[in-house]
Each structure stands twice: as C-alpha cells, then as structure tokens.
Amino acid sequence: MALSDIQTRIAEEEARMGRTPGSAHLIAVSKVQPLERVVAVLEEGHRVFGENKVQEAAGKWPDLKTQFDGVELHLIGPLQTNKTRQAIGLFDVIHSVDRPKLARAIARIAEEEGHCPRLFIQVNTGEEDQKAGVLPGDLDELVALCRELKLPIEGLMCIPPSDEEPSLHFALLAKMAKKHGFDGLSMGMSGDFERAIAQGATYVRVGSAIFGERDYG
Ligand SMILES: *Cc1c(COP(=O)(O)O)cnc(C)c1O
C-alpha cells in the first residue's frame, strides 16, 4: 500500500540521518482526491491530513470527522482573510500565515472563538511572484508581530520553486527557523520529502505519492 511505503521511507530517512523515530510527521494531502481514496487511508489508521482550500475541506471533513476519531487537519494552502473564522473552526494547524493582516485577523478571531490553531509562517524562499508566503526579507518583522500578538507559531513552511534544487530551499528555511528559535519545519512533498527530512523537516506534506495523481479534469 502506498501509505505504508511512504511511512517506511520516512522511517528509513529518519534513521539514516540519526533522527528520532517519528520526528518527521506525515501529512497526507487529500485535496482533489476522490472520497473513497481518502476513506481508504483513514481505514488504514492514518489521521493527519492536509487540504489547500478552506471550501473544499469544509465540504468533506466535518462528515469524515464524525466517522473517524482523532483526525488532525492541516491547512497548507493560502488563506483569505475573510475565511479566517471558518478556517479556525475547521483546522488544527494552519501552515500559511504570511502577512500582517492575516496574523491580526487570526489573533482577533481566535480570541473571540476561544481557541487558536497551531501556526506556521509560510516563507516564499524562491521570491516567486505567483507564490504565497512572506519574502525572506520581511520575515523578521512578521515574526515580531506574531510574537506581539501572542500567536502560537510553531515553525516555518515553504514550497520551493519547481525548477530549483529543493534542498537549498529546505536548508535556507531551516536556517531561518533556527535564527528565530522555531522547532517546526513544514517542507517536502511527494518528490522531495526525503531531502526535506535530511534538512530537518518536522512535517512533510505528501499527496500524490500516497493517493495517486490528482485528476483536476
Ligand atoms: C498539493 C500540495 C502538496 C502535495 O503535493 P504532492 O506533490 O502531491 O505530494 C504539498 N504541499 C502543498 C502546499 C500542496 O498544495
């Protein structure tokens, strides 16, 4: 089964790097996948899932959570400020904090709701125009704001440019996290999660290697 293959490869890479077993957590990225594939992975016992759109997640996970206990849901895609309340209601972890306005909205609404998801700041390490994430040069300021707002920032997240060696971006992200005293690193996807673990990833986000290719048709 693809899930157990990926789990094995993660364990092997942890061992190769001398890391604690289980220190690189697997987020199964279920976006766009047919429901039966998601249910199959839940039935295998996996509980940590990632979605990149609030609306799509809202359409399937409330139901699935009533059928399967202990689901931990991660938002790994960009978050529009006007969907903050819905995201806080749905997700245990948000990986895409990337601007002051969003940080302020999360702080305010989390206060009203009485709980806040765990958070990662997304960094646009490749400084790509089309990509979400705070620019590396603006990270210090955003971290300072998040600290002032007392947001539970656990670490940093990145999606390297598709045409560059991801290890360089993973290493850069690890260096920025260390500088700010963060332990969490959300990095690595189907094609590069082992390289991410080698650079210290605490969460890898793997979709197609577990579920099969996504059919956007
Ligand atoms: C879709 C997605 C993934 C998973 O991608 P695969 O290549 O299918 O593993 C990981 N991270 C983010 C942010 C994504 O949007």
Domain containing 128 — which CATH number? 3.20.20.10
Instruction: Kindly state if the Cβ of 86 falls inside 6 Å of ligand 1.
Output: no
Residues 38, 39, 44, 49: what is their CA dihedral angle, to the nearest 10 degrees? 40
Q: How many structural domains are present in the chain?
A: 1
Most distant CA atoms of the chain, gap in Å: 45
- CA 165 from centre of chain: 20
Residue 36 counted as domain residue: yes
Half-sphere exposure of 210 (CA within 13 A, CB side): 33
Residue 216 counted as domain residue: no
Q: What is the mean pLDDT of the chain?
A: 97
Instruction: Kindly state if the Cβ of 31 falls inside 6 Å of ligand 1.
Output: yes
Instruction: Kindly state if the Cβ of 205 falls inside 6 Å of ligand 1.
Output: yes
Return the CA Rg of the chain: 17
Among 26, 33, 30, 28, smallest CA distance to 7 is for 26
Residue 165 counted as domain residue: yes
Residue-wise DSSP of 89-120: HH-SEEEEE-SHHHHHHHHHHHHHHT---EEE
Instruction: Kindly state if the Cβ of 78 falls inside 6 Å of ligand 1.
Output: no
For 153-199, what is each residue's pLDDT tens digit?
999 999 999 999 999 999 999 999 999 999 999 999 999 999 999 99
Among 187, 180, 94, 93, smallest CA distance to 141 is for 180
For 190-202, what is each residue's pLDDT tens digit?
999 999 999 999 9
C-alpha to C-alpha distance for 88 and 57, rounded to whole angstroms: 12
Q: 52 vs 31, 49, 131, CA distance in Å?
A: 6, 10, 13
For 4-54, what is each residue's pLDDT tens digit?
999 999 999 999 999 999 999 999 999 999 999 999 999 999 999 999 999
Residue 217 counted as domain residue: no
Q: Among the atoms of ligand 1, which is closest to the Cα of residue 191?
A: 7
Q: Compute the distance from residue 113 Cα to the ligand 1 centre, in Å.
A: 29
Task: Supply the range of the domain harboring residue 197.
Answer: 3-211
Q: Compute the distance from residue 198 Cα to the ligand 1 centre, in Å.
A: 18
Residue 167 counted as domain residue: yes
Residue 172 counted as domain residue: yes
Provide the β-strand partners of residue 206: 28
Residue 173 counted as domain residue: yes
Q: What is the DSSP letter of 138?
A: G
The C-alpha angle with vertex 85 and arms to 81 and 86, in degrees rounded to 5, equals 105
